[in-house]
Amino acid sequence: MALYLDYNATTPLDSEVAETMARCSEAQWGNPHSLHAWGRRARAAVEDAREQVADLVGCDRRWITFTSGATEANNTVLQGWAVADGGQNALLVGGGEHPSVRETARALGERGVRTAEIPVDGNGVVTPEALAETLATQAPVGLVSVMMANNETGAVQPVHELAAVCAEHGVALHSDAVQAAGRLPLDMARSGVAAMSLSAHKIYGPQGVGALVRDPERLPIAPLLHGGGHERGRRAGTENVAGIVGFGVAADQARHQRGPEARRLTALRERLEMGLAESGLAVTIVARGAERLPNTTCLLLPGAEAETLLMNLDLEDIAVSSGSACASGSLAPSEALLAMGIPAEQARSALRVSLGRPTSGADVDHFVQRLAVVAGRLQKRGAPA
């Protein structure tokens, strides 16, 4: 039984999205910046998609800048802010951020930008108190970046409260909302967040397209890419029309399906964790004391190395992850887990299980049964004689 449980890494392309993209490639393939009819048709398609993405996150459509993905969006906001700021203020990022934020901050630090990490608690959460303390010790601060939901543990950050703290200090807040989109209610206009990053392929859209959502009055940035006046001069390069159209359809689906799907996935996640508790495995659920994404469970299985577990599960045709897909191939323990105070040895045993639209109760039961066999065998081997 082939079983995919790695939906936080990527989701399959929805059939309606694929069909819409195919029709777009046939009928709306013009350059959206050309003035003739072909260009106007393509431009109209892009603007319709912009409206759909804006509706998903609850913002002005003019705040949407289409990108090649969330990595570009995160780089654009952090690097673009650094250029516009000119080294006057510090950049703060949450502990355990996605590599596209964490490594960008490190690169900026190497270039002389003052940067600091906001500590997280044992559940991987940036508390308002921790943010306020870091703002006070690192002042003056110009930008804070804290992800909306952790891609490895599923821990949801109190973004509205963090935005209020930032507002008290006159600081803009950016949030990587990749895992939250389509899974949590988003209302950017009321959240206090100045910018957020999105990715189409996490919501059953195409890979290679995303968006930076930004209120330009609250967070001025310089463009990352220079060239023509595409995307209102914010991102040079001819738009990926079919990909953007697919993103729009996926965003529309995510907005309408979010509530019922979140409830269904929450029930499946609870079924999964109950099954693990009854399996006899030595297992710890990471970030259990925090609000979590409805589809995400991160496990620690002491005595079983994650890489060995992944290979054994792969032989069973079961796909899960040991953390962020963007950090795959690294033998180092997860920086997100280390930031939570989890010892390196335990962090190396972490598995991330993320559920999706096709996941059923039978799938969850099958996974628990096979994991109990595979991990149980490895844990027995690693137990002291």
Kindly state the helix (H) or strand (E) to which residue 324 belongs, with its residue range.
none
Residue of 81, 79, 77, 56 lying closest to 65 (CA atoms): 77
Beta bridge partners of 143: 91, 172
| Inter-residue contact 143 to 114 (CB < 8 Å) | no
* 105-136 residues labelled b (16+ CB within 10 A) or e (exposed): beebeeeebbbbbbbbbebbbbbbebbbebbe
24 catalytically annotated: no
Beta-bridge partners for 321: 352
Q: Which residue in the list 24, 59, 298, 326 is annotated as catalytic?
A: 326
Residue with tokens 């209302």: 187
Which alpha helices (H) appear in the chain, and where do they start and end?
Answer: 15-27, 37-57, 70-85, 99-110, 128-138, 159-168, 188-191, 230-233, 241-277, 306-315, 335-339, 344-347, 361-382
- Put residue 126 in one of left, alpha, beta given phi > 0 → left and psi -120 to 50 → alpha: beta
Find all residues with CB under 8 Å of 264, minimum gap 6, and list them: none
Cβ-based neighbours of 353, under 8 Å, separated by 6 or more: 5, 272, 296, 297, 298, 299, 320, 367
What DSSP state is assigned to residue 178? T
Q: Kindly list the catalytic residues.
A: 326
